[in-house]
Structure 1
């Protein structure tokens, strides 16, 4: 351990307990391991926090000693911003409790809880939260940046269901942001990311749902263009209950296939009719769509991920599957450099579009699709740069037909022009609130416009 850290670790150990301050060894390595194994950041230490008071102590001590910090919730940010190289990681991995009030239909969710944790706690009451598509993703990080998911059409984004948040600010102060107290902070947290403090708990609106009709429909890659063209027409008349993810994925032999993943949050028989229409868009290679618990639905995407892989991601937002967009997506599949790479595309429509653009920091409320350009490769790959180049080429091909900005939960720290446009007309208010709540720039969990940092 660097002896310069001794005053920090000594003070943290006194306030949190020795077992909660990690600087080396197997527990330290476990604490800094995240989803993207390609991130090689090495922090100076980890403070494993169990309570908001622990978080306050960690933030205060780091500030007093000039040690930069980051906050680790679910550990799913592909760019690894939760692991501050040379800094202190404020880990919330021991703060995963979920308390459900079934009568009020509200869950209080610990800052380290995953989406799967939330649904496991709410399902016994026949309730669910609006989550993303994967159970292993941290609920806080997902929600603070946006939160596209299977229920976006009927219940909006995850951030649209954030009722309040308990936050530790940069000076260690603990506040609750809700419509009556620190309403400006709540506005900023709904889409502005974890840039204003450490969110130790979320107060989340719940919805009645026993099960969901979902799964996968696969088509041969040669039909991708026509399937996307047909999907464009179908989704133009689809109800809120139907949200459809699409994209290029890998078939059993590793070759590209066209995938549709419908999620129907309504009466199952009607959903099966829509599934049949989706299957009619081409010659189906395989269709596995059925009614299942929401918790099971959150495991489907993760089953496609290979543990230990390295990843890089780019993103573009498009208004529709126009011929130009489809051509770029087909080219992406044709030139894909790895069977671990793909383009999952998120569907934004329905209830999510009926929120005013200035009601939350998340500004883009027009119907759209978010294209994830995901390159994955094994650690022993001899030429990882070819996969990175593929993501850059797909992003560049989509740029002329894409909307300004992009989804902040997917934008990397180098996506300067997209970051500057991501918040649209809300950027100036977000800048003002950043200066008010975090004037020294302690927190940088997700990208903010460059002007915020000046």
Structure 2
């Protein structure tokens, strides 16, 4: 869509008549800060950045975008690597000022504003010994994570972030506001749990909390040459894995700069079991001869916040994702070969563990369809701005292609880029028709474009 500068100027004038003028940004330090994303390679720049402080201001933004034909986007945490938080030359609703979290201790629920990040949620719940099902990084927006699914360290025990969504306030494409939960707007509520930000602006969510005063977590690193043996033995351990243990794996560059096999466990059960030398966590140190094996016991909020330094804003990122049945020898070989050809010391493979409670949800109960136990692999090409991004992106493409023959059709929609045309049609499996019907009902003009949606009914999810 091409929008003239005259139209943009008229939209700016209209917004300044309808809202406090300091909410409407087109340049300056606040605009620059509001358009800075986690992925520094994104060059999209909205004509208007609307810093929203209330649902009413979001409504005004949506209606104004429609009135003037401006492309619209929603910026929450700003962690989408493909840059979909920003509407290039359009209007971006910046929800970051809306970051409040209210905890209802008795109900074990939290009311989370649309711009809150994971750290905000966990910090609010932590004084009560409670946690939320979140992702692995604290600076990620809680709404975006939840709407797209939300793999995380507590998934085995409590399910995806989406499985813990109890209700949401949504501004629809016509500017109206609805509350969606199991009894009100149930089809929309179903779509919000895995279908992404394609149906409206979530200005507030109610999520379930869980009592977990402390977790045992840490990192085990093995030399890359041990990866086949380590991952083979890990597979046997994970086949009988308790819900309380979720083990993120992957390959990262270790302290000496060489690629190493990584195990990143989180134990959410009784801490004494997590620290027991004969327990399931400590067994992860006996799959080979580790170079590093470090664990600590503490709050989940502290553990997640400590990881943020590993993923700073501003680096350049290109990401691919594949969903894998398990650590088969062929998968491990593809990971090892990919590690040996990495073009940047900042690049990595991050493999998320999907099992337990998350895998027991019937596939048709939420829009998120892949409910078989599996591993969700991120192929992360990361580099600093002064280096050539082309060769790093080519590495990600090659590593993803090597995993493709061993993967399920589709992938994790929250991480799929717009060019993943071979995967997008299969993401939602048998849920596709219902999801597109909800889209057609609440947003027939396609105002909201969150994560990729397929355009036709695909074949059912299956391992090829």
Deviation at 1:302, TM superposition (A): 2.2
Q: Secondary structure, in 3 states, of the residue corresponding to 1:10? A: helix
Query: Partners in 1 of 2:43 and 2:218 — Cα distance?
Result: 34
Deviation at 1:124, TM superposition (A): 1.2
Q: Secondary structure, in 3 states, of the residue corresponding to 1:450? A: coil
Structure 2 residue ranges without an equivalent (≥5)? 458-464
Residue-pair matches, total: 451
Q: Which residue of 2 aligns with 1:166?
A: 169
| Structure 1 range deviating more: 251-260 or 112-121 | 251-260
Query: Partners in 2 of 1:2 and 1:67 — Cα distance?
Result: 11
Describe the superposition over 1:232-284 as per-residue Cα deviations: whole angstroms up to 9, x where unpaired.
01101111111000111111232211110010010122223222210001111
Q: Which residue of 1 aligns with 2:445?
A: 440
Deviation at 1:306, TM superposition (A): 4.4
Q: Secondary structure, in 3 states, of the residue corresponding to 1:417? A: coil
Deviation at 1:432, TM superposition (A): 0.6
- Give yes or no for the alignment of 1:44 onto 2:47: yes
Deviation at 1:177, TM superposition (A): 0.3
Q: Where do 1:145-294 residues align within 5 Å?
A: 145-272=148-275, 273-294=279-300
User: Contact between 1:71 and 1:90, CA under 8 Å: does it hold in 2?
Assistant: yes
Q: 1:359 aligns with which of 355, 361, 365?
A: 365
Query: Partners in 2 of 1:307 and 1:441 — Cα distance?
Result: 30
- Give yes or no for the alignment of 1:401 onto 2:430: no
Q: Where do 1:42-81 residues align within 5 Å?
A: 42-81=45-84
Q: Which residue of 2 aligns with 1:373?
A: 379
Q: 1:315 aligns with which of 315, 321, 333?
A: 321
User: Contact between 1:16 and 1:49, CA under 8 Å: does it hold in 2?
Assistant: no
Structure 1 residue ranges without an equivalent (≥5)? none
Query: Partners in 1 of 2:210 and 2:86 — Cα distance?
Result: 33
Deviation at 1:333, TM superposition (A): 1.0
Query: Partners in 1 of 2:268 and 2:177 — Cα distance?
Result: 37
Q: Which residue of 2 aligns with 1:449?
A: 454
Deviation at 1:122, TM superposition (A): 0.9
| Structure 1 range deviating more: 9-18 or 203-212 | 9-18
User: Contact between 1:129 and 1:205, CA under 8 Å: does it hold in 2?
Assistant: yes
State TM-score, norm by structure 2.
Answer: 0.96
User: Contact between 2:37 and 2:313, CA under 8 Å: does it hold in 1?
Assistant: no
Deviation at 1:110, TM superposition (A): 0.4
Q: Which residue of 2 aligns with 1:344?
A: 350
User: Contact between 2:196 and 2:451, CA under 8 Å: does it hold in 1?
Assistant: yes
4+ runs of 1 displaced by more than 4 Å? none
Deviation at 1:126, TM superposition (A): 1.3
Query: Partners in 1 of 2:313 and 2:419 — Cα distance?
Result: 26
Query: Partners in 1 of 2:160 and 2:64 — Cα distance?
Result: 35
Q: 1:93 to 1:405 in 2, by over 3 A?
A: same
Deviation at 1:303, TM superposition (A): 2.3
User: Contact between 1:416 and 1:450, CA under 8 Å: does it hold in 2?
Assistant: no
Deviation at 1:307, TM superposition (A): 4.0
Query: Partners in 2 of 1:250 and 1:174 — Cα distance?
Result: 47
Q: 1:29 aligns with which of 23, 28, 32?
A: 32
Q: Secondary structure, in 3 states, of the residue corresponding to 2:394? A: helix
State TM-score, norm by structure 1.
Answer: 0.98
Q: 1:305 aligns with which of 308, 311, 336?
A: 311
User: Contact between 2:37 and 2:314, CA under 8 Å: does it hold in 1?
Assistant: no
Query: Partners in 2 of 1:27 and 1:2 — Cα distance?
Result: 21
User: Contact between 1:224 and 1:330, CA under 8 Å: does it hold in 2?
Assistant: yes
Describe the superposition over 1:162-217 as per-residue Cα deviations: whole angstroms up to 9, x where unpaired.
00000000000000001111000000000000000000011101100111100111
